[in-house]
Structure 1
Amino acid sequence: MTRTKLCGITSASDRAAAVAAGADALGFVVDVPVDTPRELAPGTAADLVADVPPFVTTVLVTMPEAPGAAADLVETVGTDVVQVHGLDPAAVSDLAATTDARVVAATDLDGDHAGYAAAADAVLVDSVDDDGAGGTGETHDWTRTRDLVRTLDDEYGTPVVLAGGLTPENVAEAVETVGPFAVDVASGIEAAPGEKDAEAMAAFVRAARGDET
């Protein structure tokens, strides 16, 4: 079954709604050099993470200048996983060696997939902007991503997370086409920038899992 990450959680109410929707993982955006309504101060993120129930994975989403900064931020926020944007594979490898958190390396379809697969616990394929940030709300070529899923699994055993422009309406098709380990959504489940829609979150999780009820 394809796992779901609901990203850009900014409030206790949205956290509770995401958990009630059945999300496997919740994402918290901290310390990114782009203007986004989903960014949290480290202390705010830590408070939200502290009350996530057992068996729901917490993910720090960040764009660090260096691996050490990301490792320090993981300690502050207290997440299970760190998802990094903007680091090259060598830096991702350094981060993995200095943190107990699992490391997800974010890239696009033209990134060094082999390098990231060797360095990280998972590779997230996203549609990124000029700064290398995700959350663009745009899809990419799912057929190419499908081929990448197969290649990275066969050669490295590294799971692929699909992101970029996913919504409750298209995620079932994306899962069927790509066959990813997990899907990741932020803007596609929002009532307003930075504010989640509880019904959309629940619908997204159901569609990703193929649950028509």
Structure 2
Amino acid sequence: MTRVKACGTTCEDDLEAAVEAGADAVGLIAEVPVDTHREISPKRARSLAAAAPPFVTTVLVTMPETPAEAIGLVERVRPDAVQLHGTLEPDGVASVREAVDATVLVVLEAGETDAATAEAYDAVADGLLVDTPAVDGGGGTGETHNWEVTRELAAGLDSPLVLAGGLTPENVADAVRAVEPFAVDVASGIENAEGRTDPGAVRTFVERAKNVNVPIPRS
């Protein structure tokens, strides 16, 4: 069954909506150099991480310039996992992974990451997330990418793959069938007009992501 991460949680109501919908993880965005209404302070991120119930993974989403920045922020927020956007080299990611008591995910840019680069991060991360890149280097564009290319990339990797980029309740089932990811990540696709998590949208998204019959390849 495909797991679901609801990203961009900014308050207790967002957290409650995601948890009640059956999301497996929530994303807390802090200390990013891009303009996004989803960013919260490290203090609020820590509060929300502490408020999440057992078995719901809290994911700190950040864009550190150095391994030390990432390590320091993880120590302040205390999430279950950290999702690293940006330009940390594989050895920097390895340093973070060794230093923190959290799962380390690395974001790869869809269509921009070659196989050799993906393999280098695959060797040092606990999981890889493929997202549609923005001009500023962040994700959250609300745009899809070529799922077949992502499927081909994932086939050569050992780490669990998380699919992001323009996913909505309307297209998530097709995305899961096309890529067969370990998990899917959604932000704008479950937001209301005020940029908050819409309970109905996240519930539908989770239901459709988790109830896809992906054919099992014959050996």
Q: 1:184 offset after TM fit, Å?
A: 0.3
Percent of residue pairs bearing the same amino acid type: 54
Q: Deviations over 1:32-86 (max 9, x none)?
A: 0000000000101111111100000000000011111111111111100000001
Q: Contact 1:8–1:194 (CA<8 Å) still a contact in 2?
A: no
CA distance in 2, matches of 1:205, 1:19: 10
CA distance in 2, matches of 1:192, 1:2: 27
Q: Are 1:6 and 2:6 matched, yes or no?
A: yes
1:1-213 alignment, distance < 5 Å? 1-86=1-86, 87-109=88-110, 110-111=112-113, 112-152=117-157, 157-192=158-193, 194-210=195-211
Q: Deviations over 1:151-192 (max 9, x none)?
A: 11xxxx211100000000000000000000000011110003
Q: How many residues align?
A: 208
139-148 or 83-92, larger mean C-alpha shift: 83-92
Q: 4+ residue stretches of structure 1 with deviation over 3 A?
A: none
Q: Contact 2:60–2:81 (CA<8 Å) still a contact in 1?
A: yes
Unaligned 5+ segments in structure 2 are 214-219
Pair 124,211 (structure 1): closer, same or farther in 2 beyond 3 Å: closer
Pair 19,9 (structure 1): closer, same or farther in 2 beyond 3 Å: same
CA distance in 2, matches of 1:22, 1:85: 26
CA distance in 2, matches of 1:24, 1:167: 17
79-88 or 31-40, larger mean C-alpha shift: 79-88
Say what the alpha-carbon RMSD is for the aligned residues. 1.3
Q: 1:90 offset after TM fit, Å?
A: 2.1
Q: Deviations over 1:3-54 (max 9, x none)?
A: 0000000010110010000000000000000000000001011111111000
| Aligned AA (1:113) | A
Unaligned 5+ segments in structure 1 are none
CA distance in 2, matches of 1:116, 1:125: 12
Q: 1:88 offset after TM fit, Å?
A: 2.3
CA distance in 2, matches of 1:138, 1:101: 29
Q: Contact 2:173–2:212 (CA<8 Å) still a contact in 1?
A: no
Q: 1:211 offset after TM fit, Å?
A: 6.7
Secondary structure in structure 2 of the residue aligned to 1:183: strand
| Aligned AA (1:185) | V
Q: Contact 1:38–1:193 (CA<8 Å) still a contact in 2?
A: no
Secondary structure in structure 1 of the residue aligned to 2:128: strand
